[in-house]
Amino acid sequence: MEAEAAKFIGAGLAAIGMIGAGIGVGNVWASYITALARNPASKDEIGANIWIGFAVTEAIALFALIIGLISLFG
């Protein structure tokens, strides 16, 4: 197999890692909505923390993306 073909296959495989991050990010807002439904008064307090959860989970997706970009362009 040529190096060029292997690069593209490697990048495609690396992108599969984002499945977990997708589930995780969806989880953040799913639990926010559930918590909001149980206790509408806690909206502001929890609302401040969902962004931290989102950014930390999104970072995992970006780690996978970086590996894909390294295999394509590195």
Residues near another protein (CB under 8 A): 51-52, 55-56, 58-59, 62-63, 65-66, 69, 73
Q: 20 near 60, Cβ under 8 Å?
A: yes
Q: Name which of 9 and 55 has its Cβ closer to another protein.
A: 55
**3-class secondary structure, 17:** coil
Least spacing, CB of residue 49 vs another protein, in Å: 10
- Residue 41 is given by DSSP the state G
Whose CA is closest to 61, among 25, 31, 21?
A: 21
Q: Which of 36, 50 has the CB closer to another protein?
A: 50
Q: Which is nearer to another protein, 35 or 65 (CB)?
A: 65
